């Protein structure tokens, strides 16, 4: 029988790539999407991948438990991937309550809907490396202590521990992926990697002259979203649910990432980069570096796309977009 998957946040970067992967594997894919009064559901990322007509969009919101229960009952999914969140760290300081409700309590609502209507479904929670915050170990693993440094990270930590609690309390097959930074051409423009590649394309095409950033000495462990959604699926194929760090094991400064992007189009980063103090975080996360050894040993996951390949892909995609 054809498996069915329900993906919250399907219109985002990870949701789109995960939908593509699941469709390739023969799943029926349902995507929970929140509508607004000003526009229809934004399917831009699904359209970029050419799969917008292959996904069944279901109206829903993480804050509406009754709606989630009905969706769970109607779809009866075999697998549930909770990717929806208020996911922009900077905005979480301006909208801490909303972030807590959606990114934190929203996980409770999805888990409750699963528990009440489809307790045999396998559940995936998108946890975040931001939970490590002020790092307690040079390389972060599943056993590293958490020290969140933003309302977003605190909310993610709530969802992470609640997933563990529902697994232990109710026997749900509920796993969390502690995902380190992962990017792609589908990344939102507000995130630093996409901000960089979009600006590089604009400068190359004569549409802009400068790139303004905050702390360019911050270090991140960057991978490609395609690799990371593959890990999500692999987790739910395991006999036992568990939590896994998904990372490349390599950390790079924002400065070096910028250099790679500018170098690809034959420009010098120092001629265009401006440091803007207004763009610094209230509480910075200086270094993130993940240890993915457990995922490699348990189910053989390894990243296939390097940082250099990813940045080139993103710059080329932005040149293509802007060239139109």
pLDDT over 80 (residue 38): no
Q: How far apart are CA 43 and CA 53, in angstroms?
A: 10
Q: Is 188-220+251-287+305-323 a CATH 3.90.25.10 domain?
A: yes
Confidence grade of residue 40 (pLDDT, cut at 50, 70, 90) = confident
Predicted confidence at residue 87, as pLDDT, reads 74
Distance, CA of 56 to CA of 67 (rounded, Å): 16
Distance, CA of 56 to CA of 6 (rounded, Å): 9
How far are the Cα atoms of 44, 107, 149, 173, 229 from residue 63, in angstroms, in the given order?
Answer: 24, 9, 24, 22, 24
**Location of structure tokens 């054809």:** 2
What does the block give as tokens for 120? 């045999």
Other beta carbons within 10 Å of 315: 23
Distances, alpha carbon 30 to alpha carbons 99, 192, 224, 273, in Å: 24, 30, 23, 42
251-275 core/surface letters (b: 16 or more CB in 10 A; e: else): bbebeebbbbbbbbbeeebeebbee
Show Cβ contacts of residue 204 under 8 Å, excluding neighbours closer than 6 positions. 265, 267, 319
pLDDT for position 279: 85
Please give the radius of gyration of the chain, using alpha carbons only, rounded to the nearest integer.
19
Provide the token pair at 35: 């509508």
How confident is the model at residue 80, as a pLDDT? 98
Band of residue 42 on the pLDDT scale cut at 50, 70, 90? confident
Share of residues in the chain with pLDDT > 70 (%): 99
pLDDT above 90 covers what percent of the chain?
Answer: 90
Confidence of residue 39 (pLDDT cuts 50, 70, 90): low
Say how far apart CA 148 and CA 141 lie, in whole Å. 15
Q: How confident is the model at residue 5 (pLDDT cuts 50, 70, 90)?
A: very high
SS3 191: coil
Cα angle 49-53-54, degrees, rounded to a multiple of 5: 80
Which residues, listed in sequence order, are joined to residue 178 by a DSSP beta bridge? 127, 245
Q: Which CATH number fits domain 4-182+222-246: 3.30.450.20, 3.40.50.300, 3.40.50.720, 3.90.380.10?
A: 3.40.50.720
Looking at residue 98, what DSSP letter applies? H
pLDDT of residue 281: 76
User: What are 134-144's pLDDT values in tens digits?
Assistant: 999 999 999 99
pLDDT digits (tens, 9 = 90+) for 112-166: 999 999 999 999 999 999 999 999 999 999 999 999 999 999 999 999 999 999 9
- What is the side-by-side strand order in the sheet with 79-82? 56-59, 28-33, 4-8, 79-82, 122-128, 173-179, 243-246
pLDDT (tens digit, 9 = 90+) per residue, 78-88? 999 999 988 77
- Matching residue, tokens 């040079």: 138
- Confidence at 205, pLDDT banded by 50, 70, 90: very high
Domain boundaries, the chain: 4-182+222-246, 188-220+251-287+305-323
| Higher per-residue pLDDT: 87 or 309 | 309
pLDDT digits (tens, 9 = 90+) for 229-280: 999 999 999 999 999 999 999 999 999 999 999 999 999 999 999 999 888 8
Opening angle at CA 209, ends 208 and 213, nearest 5: 95
For the cut 90, the answer to whether the pLDDT of residue 91 exceeds it is no
Res. 283: pLDDT tops 90: no
Q: What is the Cα–Cα distance from 57 to 11, expressed in whole angstroms?
A: 10
Provide the 3-class DSSP secondary structure of residue 140.
strand
Q: How far apart are CA 133 and CA 164, in angstroms?
A: 20
CB atoms within 10 A of CB 41: 16
Q: Helix, strand or coil for residue 198?
A: helix
What is the reported pLDDT for 273? Answer: 95
């Amino acid at each position: 029988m054809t498996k069915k998957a329900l993906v919250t946040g399907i219109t985002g970067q990870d949701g789109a790539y995960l939908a593509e992967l699941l469709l390739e594997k023969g799943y029926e894919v349902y995507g929970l999407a929140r509508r607004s009064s000003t526009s229809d559901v934004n399917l831009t990322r699904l359209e970029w991948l050419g799969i917008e007509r292959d996904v069944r969009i279901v109206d829903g919101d993480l804050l509406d438990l009754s709606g989630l229960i009905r969706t769970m009952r109607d779809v009866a999914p075999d697998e549930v991937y909770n990717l929806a969140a208020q996911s922009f760290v900077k905005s979480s300081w301006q909208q801490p309550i909303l972030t807590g409700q959606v990114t934190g309590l929203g996980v409770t609502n999805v888990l409750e809907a699963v528990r009440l209507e489809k307790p045999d479904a396998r559940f995936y929670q998108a946890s975040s490396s931001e939970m490590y915050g002020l790092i307690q170990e040079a390389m972060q693993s599943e056993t590293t202590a958490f020290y969140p440094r933003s309302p977003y990270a605190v909310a993610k930590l709530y969802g992470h521990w609640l997933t563990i609690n529902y697994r232990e309390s109710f026997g749900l097959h509920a796993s969390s992926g502690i995902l380190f930074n992962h990017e792609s051409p589908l990344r939102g423009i507000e995130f630093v990697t996409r901000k960089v590649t979009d600006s590089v394309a604009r400068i190359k095409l004569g549409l802009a002259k400068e790139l303004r950033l905050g702390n360019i000495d911050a270090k991140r462990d960057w991978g490609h979203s395609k690799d990371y959604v593959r890990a999500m699926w692999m987790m739910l194929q395991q006999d036992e649910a568990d939590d896994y760090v998904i990372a490349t094991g390599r950390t790079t400064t924002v400065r070096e990432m910028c250099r790679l992007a500018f170098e690809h189009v034959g420009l010098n980063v120092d001629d265009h980069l401006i440091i803007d103090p207004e763009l610094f975080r209230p509480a910075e996360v200086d270094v993130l570096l993940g240890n993915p050894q457990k995922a490699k040993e348990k189910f053989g996951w390894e990243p296939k796309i390097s940082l250099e390949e990813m940045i080139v892909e993103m710059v080329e995609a932005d040149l293509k977009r802007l060239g139109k």
